[in-house]
Every structure is written in C-alpha cells, then in structure tokens.
Amino acid sequence: MKIHLVTLFPGMFQGVFTESILGRAQDAGILEIRIVDLREYGLGSHRVVDDAPYGGGGGMILKPEPIAMALEGIEDPGHVILTSPRGRPFRQADARRLSGLEAITLICGHYEGVDERVSELFVNEELSIGDYVLTGGELPAMVIADAVARLIPGALGHDTTQSGDSHYDGLLEYPHYTRPREFRGREVPPVLLSGNHEQIRDWRARQALRKTREARPDLLEKSPGGDNDGKGD
C-alpha cells in the first residue's frame, strides 16, 4: 500500500513513520509512505501557497494551484482525503475500508482553510479525528495513516492480533494484566490465572462491555452485544 502526505511542514513527520510497526512495515515492503512538500509547488520566487480570503475575514487560505500541482505530481494518488475540522468523524470502520485500497493521499489542511475548489475537484472525502481544532492537518494525517497502516495484512507481524483492540468489534478493549501478580495491593483477577480459556473469554467480553458502558455508552447503540448487562468481575 502507498500513503502520500501533502504537507507544508514535512519536518513534523520525521521519526513518526520510521519507528515501530510503521517502520517495520516499510522495511518489509508492505507499506510505502511518501511525504510531499507543498512548498515546492508554491507560486513565484517566494513559493507562495496561501492568500487572503475573498469576502474578507481573518486568516489565510491555502491556494488551489499548489495543491493541484502537488497531487498531479503524484503518479498514483489513489483515494484523496482532506483532513479538516468539518470532515466526517474518522472511525475504525474507515480505517478498515481505507486499508484495503492500493493508495491513499492525505492533504494536510492549514491556516484558516483550503480553497473550496480543491475539495470540489480533487478530494474524495474529508475526515476529522475529533470535535476540536488543531494548528494544522499534520497530526490528524499521522493518526489516520497509523490507524490504516496497522490493518494492512502482515503489518502487525505473526504474533500480534487486532481482534482484541478497542473498537474492533464496536466495544472498548478489556483490561490487561501482566507480572507481577500483586502490585501495591492490587491483585490480578483470579480468572486470568485459572487456565480456563472459556471463562477468560467470558470475563473479557463482560469487562469490555463494562468499560464501554462507563466511558463510551454511545457505542452500545451500535454494538451487537449491547443488551448484555456487562456486570461481574
């Protein structure tokens, strides 16, 4: 899979995509990430990429020409996404959907916004990672790229699974424990030490439901297990 990122601040991505799972996926040839410096496509000797908005108002707007040239310079941009506070909320289902594509391109919004004609002419969808405003679209692009890349077959390795992750089946993840058995007066739940895998699966399912009810009750409306009481240790 190829992930292209169009950004005014390529330095923000240094290190992010060379470590851990993303770094290993690239080394294995499973994933290719390319950072496209939007400033290289700026206009004139000063490489201008923004201008004041028509109709007045504060802030600057990213011009359409540099973004168009940057996208046209990518051999296969694939599915084009603009990170934007007005975008549809990014969900795990989106990560699964996008991970099945051969190529995606993330345009990192900045300043007051992006000329609307970019969305009209080039963008397949706009995505947001939350109901808040950041200084730019670089952080959302990193989040989306990470969530998508880890779902590419082989990216997690043979000894790692996604099936227990939060949001994998619509619920939050159950609690995890490791050694020591007792830590500052807190004991590992006995069921996890029992060796009874059926009981452990049942405990984890009930705990996932309990955690979801406490932190994200809105998810239960969509979960097939939402009618379970989720009680018990």
CB 139 within 8 A of CB 85: no
What whole-number percentage of the chain has pLDDT above 90? 80
Q: Which of 40, 116, 165, 214 is the catalytic position?
A: 165
What whole-number percentage of the chain has pLDDT above 70? 90
How many angstroms from the chain centroid is the CA of residue 82?
13
Catalytic residue at 40?
no
Q: Which of 10, 53, 64, 85 is the catalytic position?
A: 85
Task: Please provide the CATH number assigned to the domain covering 2-149.
Answer: 3.40.1280.10
Q: Comparing C-alpha atoms, which of 48, 7, 37 is closest to residue 145?
A: 7
Task: Please provide the CATH number assigned to the domain covering 163-233.
Answer: 1.10.1270.20
User: What DSSP string runs through 49-116?
Assistant: -EEPPTT--SS-EE-HHHHHHHHHTSS---EEEEEEEEEEEP-HHHHHHHHTSSEEEEEE-BTTEE-H
Catalytic residue at 94?
no
Catalytic residue at 202?
no
Catalytic residue at 51?
no
Handedness of CA 96, 99, 105, 107 (dihedral sign): positive
Considering the chain, tell me which residue range(s) the CATH 1.10.1270.20 domain(s) occupy.
Answer: 163-233
Q: pLDDT tens digits, residue range 77-101?
A: 999 999 999 999 999 999 999 999 9
Q: Which of 37, 65, 94, 112 is the catalytic position?
A: 112
Q: pLDDT tens digits, residue range 150-181?
A: 999 999 875 445 555 555 568 999 999 999 99
Output the average pLDDT for the chain.
91
CB 144 within 8 A of CB 127: yes
Q: What is the pLDDT of residue 159?
A: 44
Considering the chain, tell me which residue range(s) the CATH 3.40.1280.10 domain(s) occupy.
Answer: 2-149
Distance CA 33, CA 64 (A): 23
Distance CA 190, CA 192 (A): 5
Q: Which of 115, 138, 150, 213 is the catalytic position?
A: 150
User: Residue 106 is inside which H or E element, if any?
Assistant: strand 103-108
Distance CA 173, CA 89 (A): 20
CB 175 within 8 A of CB 211: yes
